[in-house]
Amino acid sequence: MELMLDTTTKVIAFAFTSSAVGYLIGTVLCGIVYDSMNKELFFLVSGFILTVALATAPFLPHVYAFIGAMALKDVGTGLIQTGGLNHNC
């Protein structure tokens, strides 16, 4: 990762922090949006967010874009996991 993005370990460590914050944002957004939205559309949008972030992350040239993609990936993950738990109740 350091060689691919031309960065240091200290900077790339922010990817893990951004993932945790992204997951937290995803779970909070799910709590706000889930009841007021069509469930199938909710999972479609959440899956799309997750797919776009995962598909673009390896090709991003700058470390901060990569960190943003990791945060966006976990927003989608938080939405899907929290929505899935509520959907089965």
Mean pLDDT over residues 39-51, rounded?
A: 92
Number of residues written out for the chain? 89
What is the structure's pLDDT at 55? Answer: 95
pTM of the model: 0.85
Mean of the per-residue pLDDT values for the chain? Answer: 89
Residue matched to tokens 């900077």: 11
Measure the CA–CA gap between 51 and 81, rounded to whole angstroms.
15
Is residue 84 within 8 A of residue 55, CB to CB? The reply is no
Cα dihedral sign, 42-14-69-54: negative
pLDDT of residue 58: 87
Is 12 within 8 Å of 5 (Cβ atoms)? yes
Mean pLDDT of all residues in 43-47:
92
| Domain residue limits, the chain | 2-87
Question: Measuring CA to CA, how many Å separate 64 from each of 11, 57, 83, 88?
Answer: 9, 11, 28, 36
